[in-house]
Amino acid sequence: MNFLIKACGIKRSFFSGGKRIEVLKELDLEVYEGEIIAIIGVSGSGKSTLLHILGLMDAPDEGELIFLGLKNPFSLGEKKVASLRNREIGFVFQFPSLLPEFSVLENVLMPTFIGGFKNKEKRATELLKSMGLRESLFNRRSYMLSEGEKQRVVLARALINKPRLVIADEPTASLDEKTAVEIFDLIKNINRFYGQTFIVASHDRTFLSRCDRSFFLHGSKLYET
């Protein structure tokens, strides 16, 4: 099986109040192409820190990261890393982060504008439809949507550039149970139809039963459950 990411001996610590906190230590993880991985762990255990590293948003202090066959992608410099992120990684966060004054469609297209990819309106519309969003909402400013609707738009935006990886940090934490299940089913369907790999931090038990592998982050290390 091909791996998308291989992380070896990852270490990340922060200085806070004059003290050093070791959040991740000797952490190893291999993520295979096409799988859905869940990362669980108590608040403060380092889930977001780990997702930021795997999503090339934050460099580890030590350790080796291989991303899509690229050894230590952070050595490419911020501009190239940003371009790699734009093409290959989609992000979904706990609170749907859309640009409120832009329309739903414009929000979904934003990563294509940044990447310089043209004529993606049709794909954006199709993605929004496949996320179950009503067409009458496509041209509405995004601040007018409900949280569940916003998270569908965020998912469409995460997928617009056909990334190989989607990173989702507690994507359903701000949603009710029924909507959370719908979003998880969408993730499962996207994974099945488009083959995207997902790394999802989540506390949700219904999600854990839907993913391929799950890991418990505890004491700065990961344990497969």
Q: Kindly list the residues in this chain that would bind ligand ATP in the complex (CB under 6 A).
A: 14, 16, 21, 23, 41, 43-49
Q: Are 30 and 51 in contact (CB under 8 A)?
A: no
Shortest spacing between CB 171 and ligand ATP, in angstroms: 12
Q: Taking CB under 5 A as the rule, which mask of x and - marks residues 139-178 in contact with Mg ion?
A: ----------------------------------------
Shortest spacing between CB 62 and ligand ATP, in angstroms: 16
Residue with token string 């992120």: 85
Closest to ligand ATP by CB, 21 vs 181, is: 21
CB neighbour list of residue 87: distance below 8 Å, 6 or more residues apart: 115, 161, 163
Closest to ligand ATP by CB, 21 vs 70, is: 21
Q: Counting contacts by CB under 5 A, is residue 48 touching Mg ion?
A: yes
49 binds, among ligand ATP, Mg ion, none (CB under 5 to 8 A by kind): ligand ATP
Q: Taking CB under 5 A as the rule, which mask of x and - marks residues 99-118 in contact with Mg ion?
A: --------------------
Residues binding Mg ion: number (CB under 5 A) = 2
* CA gap 31, 224 in Å, rounded: 12
